[in-house]
Amino acid sequence: MKVSKLLLKTLRETPAEAETASHQLMLRSGMMRKLAAGIYSYLPMGLRSLHKVEQIIREEMDAAGAQELLMSALLPAEYYQESGRWDVFGPEMFRLKDRNDRDFCLGPTHEEIFTQTVKSEVSSYRQLPLTLYQIQTKYRDERRPRFGVMRSREFMMKDAYSFDCDEAGLDASYQAMYKAYCRIFDRLGLDYIVVDADSGAMGGSGSQEFMVKSDSGEAVVAYCDDCGYAANDEKAECVPEILEQEAKKEMKKIHTPNVGTIEELVSFMGTDSKHFAKTLIYVAAGKPVAVMVRGDREVNETKLANLLGINEGDLEMAEACVVTEVTNARVGFAGPVGLSIPVYCDLEVAKMCNFIVGANETDYHYENVNPDDFTPEKVADLRTITEGDVCPRCGKTIKTTRGVEVGHIFKLGTKYTKALDCTYLDENGKAQTPIMGCYGIGVNRTLAAVIEQYNDENGMIWPVSAAPYQVIVVPVNRDNEEQALLAESIYKKLQAEGIEVLLDDRAERPGVKFKDADLIGIPVRITVGKKAAEGLVEYKLRRDNAVSEISAEDAVKQACAFIRSELA
Question: Is 209 within 8 Å of 194 (Cβ atoms)?
Answer: yes
Shortest distance, CB of residue 108 to ligand ATP, whole angstroms?
8
Instruction: Compare residues 109 and 368 and give the one whose CB is closer to ligand ATP.
Output: 109
Pick the stretch among 127-135, 255-263, 399-407, 550-558 that binds ligand ATP (CB under 6 A): 399-407
User: Could you tell me if 254 and 265 are in contact, meaning their C-beta atoms sit under 8 angstroms apart?
Assistant: no
109 lies in the site for ligand ATP, by CB under 6 A: yes
Q: Measured in Å, how far apart are the chain's first and last C-alpha atoms? A: 24
- C-beta of 385: minimal distance to ligand ATP in Å? 17
The interface region with ligand ATP, picked from 39-47, 353-361, 406-414, 450-458 by CB under 6 A, is 406-414
* Residue number with CB closer to ligand ATP (199 or 432): 199
Judged by CB under 6 A, the stretch of 83-91, 258-266, 288-296, 403-411 that binds ligand ATP is: 403-411
Q: Name the 3-class secondary structure at 552.
A: helix
Using the contact rule CB under 6 A, the part of the chain among 254-262, 301-309, 404-412, 515-523 near ligand ATP is: 404-412
Binding flag, residue 405, ligand ATP (CB under 6 A): yes
**In the complex, minimum distance from the CB of residue 444 to ligand ATP, in angstroms, rounded to a whole number:** 6
Which lies closer to ligand ATP via its Cβ, residue 52 or residue 278?
52
Q: From the DSSP assignment, how many helices (H) and strands (E) are in the chain?
A: 14, 31
DSSP letter string, 505-528: --S--HHHHHHHHHHHT-SEEEEE
CA 327 to chain centre: 38
Q: Which is nearer to ligand ATP, 362 or 444 (CB)?
A: 444
What angle is formed at CA 399 by the lines to CA 398 and CA 404, rounded to 5 degrees?
A: 125
Determine phi and psi for 119, rounding to 5 degrees: -55, -40
CA distance 210 to 60: 16
Q: Select from 25, 64, 105, 406 the one that contacts ligand ATP (CB under 6 A).
A: 406
Q: Which residue is nearest to ligand ATP (CB)?
A: 442
Give CA–CA dist 363/376, Å, rounded.
24
From candidates 327, 444, 470, 483, binder to ligand ATP by CB under 6 A: 444
Asked if 362 is part of the footprint of ligand ATP (rule: CB under 6 A), the reply reads no
Distance CA(299)–CA(287), nearest Å, equals 18
Binding-site string for ligand ATP from residue 125 to residue 144, where x marks contact by CB under 6 A and - marks none: ---------------x-x--
- Report whether 444 contacts 138 (CB < 8 A): no
State which of residues 434, 442, 475, 521 lies at the interface with ligand ATP (CB under 6 A): 442
Nearer to ligand ATP, 335 or 407 (CB): 407
Q: What is the DSSP letter of 44?
A: H
Q: How far is the CB of 445 from ligand ATP (least distance, A)?
A: 4
Q: Which is nearer to ligand ATP, 155 or 454 (CB)?
A: 155
Least distance between ligand ATP and beta carbon 442 (Å):
2
Site track 255-274 with ligand ATP (rule: CB under 6 A), x = hit: --------------------
Instruction: Pick between residue 40 and residue 491 the one whose CB is nearest to ligand ATP.
Output: 40
Provide the CB-side half-sphere exposure for 90 (13 A, CA): 9
**Nearest approach, Cβ of 210 to ligand ATP (angstroms)?**
8
**Least Å from the CB of residue 38 to ligand ATP:** 7
CB of 436 vs ligand ATP, minimal distance in Å = 14
The Cα 490–Cα 510 span in angstroms is 18
Interface with ligand ATP (CB under 6 A), residue from 107, 407, 434, 521: 407
* Closest CB to ligand ATP among residues 392, 407: 407
Q: How far is the CB of 341 from ligand ATP (least distance, A)?
A: 30
Phi then psi dihedrals of residue 210, to 5 deg: -100, 115
Residues 245 and 230: their CA atoms lie apart, in Å, by 31
Q: Quick check: 204 binds ligand ATP (CB under 6 A)? A: no
Measured from the CB atom, is 38 or 376 closer to ligand ATP? 38
65/160 Cα distance (integer angstroms) = 11
In terms of Cβ atoms closer than 10 Å to its own Cβ (0-12, 13-18, 19+), residue 286 is exposed
Burial of 137 (0-12, 13-18, 19+ CB in 10 A): middle
- By the 10 Å C-beta count (0-12 exposed, 13-18 middle, 19+ buried), 507 is classed as exposed
Specify whether the backbone of 227 is left (phi greater than 0), alpha (psi in -120 to 50) or beta: alpha
195 binds ligand ATP (CB under 6 A): no
Give alpha helix (H) positions in 387-509. Answer: 415-419, 443-453, 481-496
Stretch that binds ligand ATP, among 28-36, 322-330, 437-445, 460-468 (CB under 6 A): 437-445
- Contact residue for ligand ATP among 440, 463, 475, 529 (CB under 6 A): 440
Look at residue 337 and give its three-state secondary structure. coil
Q: Strands (DSSP E) along 328-381, which ranges? A: 343-346, 355-358, 364-369, 378-380
How far apart, in whole angstroms, are the C-alpha atoms of residue 349 and residue 368? Answer: 13
Element (H, E) at 36: strand 32-36
Residue 211: strand pairing partners: 193, 405
Distance CA 398, CA 221 (A): 10
Stretch touching ligand ATP by CB under 6 A, among 342-350, 372-380, 440-448, 537-545 = 440-448
Q: How far is the CB of 144 from ligand ATP (least distance, A)?
A: 10
Residues 142-171 within binding reach of ligand ATP (CB under 6 A)? 142, 151-152, 155, 157
Query: Using CB under 6 A, which of 85, 278, 365, 408 touches ligand ATP?
Result: 408
Residues within the interface to ligand ATP (CB under 6 A): 109, 140, 142, 151-152, 155, 157, 405-408, 440, 442, 444-445
